[in-house]
Amino acid sequence: MKVLSIQSAVAYGHVGNSAAVFPLQRIGVEVMPVYTVTFSNHTGYGAWRGSLISSDDVREVITGIEERGVFPHIDVILSGYQGSEGIADVILDAVARIKTANPAAIYACDPVMGNAKSGCFVAPAIPILLRERVVPAADIITPNQFELGYLTGTEPDTLESTLRSVDLARAIGPRTVLVTSVERPDREEGTLEMLAVTDDGAWIVATPQLPMTANGSGDVTAALFTAHYRRTGDAADALARTASSVFDLLQNTLNSGERELQLVESQEAYAHPRMQFAVRQVR
């Protein structure tokens, strides 16, 4: 499997491509990372150095890949945080060109906007752009519950309302939706859930909710789920593998006492997930 991953990069820590690339490689995926920013560290520290890469330069890199004759062999285009409006045009153009070269290719979009605790943390134009242009072009989206609500103009909280919101999102374009960080009032205490919905059904998995917040965990989740699902076509299996891998990554990070994901130290969790969490079909 070959993945073109258009995301940010940091020198210190693990977010964007700096979070997604290694886990994908560890499960045997060939990744072509294209960077949209090069920062010293993620912006959650409140201070960083580096710069956005211009949309023209990002386009040039992708064109160079195309000139190597690679487009017919790309299976997945993956995108995450979009730091500027111009990057969306570059991504959508790349998706169209790759799908022309390989109609079986899919586009997986992590519509990064924010979360329930901090609200939106992207430029005001980005959520509108994602909702109106980017998400409709995607085959897979991986929003958290807050982002799902924005995309659909709803306030999902219960399982039923979250499923209805997912149906609205799927009506926009993407046939597969992974909702991360599902928090519903009637879930088992001390757990956090993920929900995957496809044309074949809907599945949910619960993991213990750890007392931490880890930048980059969503990037790892989107990458692993997309790769597993593209490889097998089995959403329940992809959900189980992703939940197992990401939980062990987060547990290892918590145990380390470090702020940054223990991405390399947790590599066996990607290559050989323990499959310790049961997946339940809910539709």
- Tens digit of each residue's pLDDT (9 = 90 or more) over 210-235: 999 899 999 999 999 999 999 999 99
Confidence class for position 118, pLDDT limits 50, 70, 90: low
CB 90 within 8 A of CB 134: no
Q: Percentage of the chain surpassing pLDDT 90?
A: 88
Instruction: Quote the CA–CA distance of 278 and 283 in Å, as a whole number.
Output: 16
Q: 12-37: buried (b, 16+ CB within 10 Å) or exposed (e) per residue? A: ebbbbbbbbbbbbebbebebbbbbbb
Q: What is the mean pLDDT of residues 70-75?
A: 98
Give the residue extent of every domain in the chain. 2-281
Sign of dihedral through CA atoms 203, 279, 18, 210? Answer: positive
Confidence class for position 126, pLDDT limits 50, 70, 90: confident
Instruction: Quote the CA–CA distance of 88 and 256 in Å, as a whole number.
Output: 37
Instruction: Quote the CA–CA distance of 101 and 255 in Å, as a whole number.
Output: 45
Instruction: Quote the CA–CA distance of 218 and 212 in Å, as a whole number.
Output: 13
CB 8 within 8 A of CB 15: yes
Q: Classify residue 84 by its DSSP letter.
A: S
DSSP H stretches of helix in 233-275: 235-256, 267-271
Q: What is the pLDDT of residues 24-58, one digit of tens each?
A: 999 999 999 999 999 999 998 999 999 999 999 99
CB 21 within 8 A of CB 270: no
Q: What is the mean pLDDT of residues 255-280?
A: 98
- Average pLDDT, whole number, for the chain? 95
Q: What is the mean pLDDT of residues 68-82?
A: 96
CB 43 within 8 A of CB 15: no
Q: Is the predicted pLDDT of residue 176 greater than 70, yes or no?
A: yes
Closest Cα partner for 3 from 114, 116, 94, 85? 94
Tokens of 158: 């219960």
Instruction: Quote the CA–CA distance of 16 and 42 in Å, as a whole number.
Output: 9
Residue 123 pLDDT: 67
Q: What is the mean pLDDT of residues 136-143?
A: 98
Tokens of 132: 């109106």
CB 112 within 8 A of CB 122: yes
Closest Cα partner for 196 from 118, 132, 271, 283? 283
CATH fold of 2-281 reads UDP-N-acetylmuramoyl-L-alanine:D-glutamate ligase (3.40.1190)
Instruction: Quote the CA–CA distance of 55 and 82 in Å, as a whole number.
Output: 11
Instruction: Quote the CA–CA distance of 269 and 98 in Å, as a whole number.
Output: 31
DSSP H stretches of helix in the chain: 17-26, 55-67, 85-101, 125-129, 145-152, 159-172, 217-232, 235-256, 267-271
Residue 216 pLDDT: 95
CB 272 within 8 A of CB 245: no
CB 53 within 8 A of CB 92: no
Comparing 129 with 122, the larger pLDDT belongs to 129
CB 32 within 8 A of CB 70: yes
Tokens of 195: 């929900």
